[in-house]
Amino acid sequence: MNFSSPLTPTPVAIVVGASSGIGEAVARKLAHEGYAVALVARRADRLRALCAELNARPGAAHAVAYPHDVTHFDEIPALFQTILRDLGRLNVMVYASGIMLPSGFSEYNFGKDRATLEVNVLGAMAWLGQAATYFEQAGEGHLVGISSVAGDRGRVSNPAYHTSKAALSTYLESLRNRLTRKGVHVLTVKPGYVDTDLLKAVARPFWVVSPEQAAADIWRAMRRGKQQIYTLSRWGLVMWVVRHMPSFIFRRLRF
For residue 255, is pLDDT > 70?
A: no
CB atoms within 10 A of CB 131: 24
Domain assignment present for residue 65? The answer is: yes
For residue 3, is pLDDT > 50?
A: no
Residue 8 pLDDT: 63
| pLDDT average, residue stretch 201-219 | 90
Domain that holds residue 49: 12-250
| pLDDT average, residue stretch 224-246 | 96
Quote the number of domains for the chain: 1
| pLDDT average, residue stretch 157-165 | 95
Q: What is the CATH number of the domain that holds 140?
A: 3.40.50.720
Give the pLDDT band (50/70/90) at residue 2.
very low
| pLDDT average, residue stretch 9-35 | 96
User: How far does Cα 239 stand from its chain's mean position?
Assistant: 20
Residue 196 pLDDT: 85
Give the pLDDT band (50/70/90) at residue 21.
very high
Domain assignment present for residue 88? The answer is: yes
For residue 254, is pLDDT > 80?
A: no
Measured CA to CA, the distance from residue 149 to residue 231 in angstroms comes to 9
Cβ-in-10-Å burial (0-12, 13-18, 19+) of 196 comes to buried
Is 65 within 8 Å of 48 (Cβ atoms)? yes
Q: Output the average pLDDT for the chain.
A: 93
Is 149 within 8 Å of 243 (Cβ atoms)? no
Considering only CA atoms, which of 97, 89, 87 is closest in space to residue 123?
A: 97
Percent of the chain past pLDDT 90, that is, above it, reads 84
Is 136 within 8 Å of 179 (Cβ atoms)? yes
Go through the chain and tell me how many residues it has.
255
**Degrees (nearest 5) of the Cα angle 197, 66, 176?**
75
Instruction: Give me the half-sphere count of Cα atoms (radius 13 Å) on the Cβ side of residue 228.
Output: 17
Mean pLDDT comparison of 172-181, 202-211, 244-253, highest-scoring range: 172-181
Residue 5 pLDDT: 46
Domain assignment present for residue 55? The answer is: yes
| pLDDT average, residue stretch 38-61 | 90
Q: Judge if pTM exceeds 0.95.
A: no
Is residue 226 helix, strand or coil?
Answer: coil
Domain assignment present for residue 110? The answer is: yes
DSSP strands (E only) in 34-124: 36-41, 63-67, 92-95
Domain assignment present for residue 224? The answer is: yes
For residue 61, is pLDDT > 90?
A: no
For residue 152, is pLDDT > 60?
A: yes
DSSP strands (E only) in the chain: 12-16, 36-41, 63-67, 92-95, 142-146, 185-191, 228-231
Domain assignment present for residue 22? The answer is: yes
Measured CA to CA, the distance from residue 92 to residue 77 in angstroms comes to 17
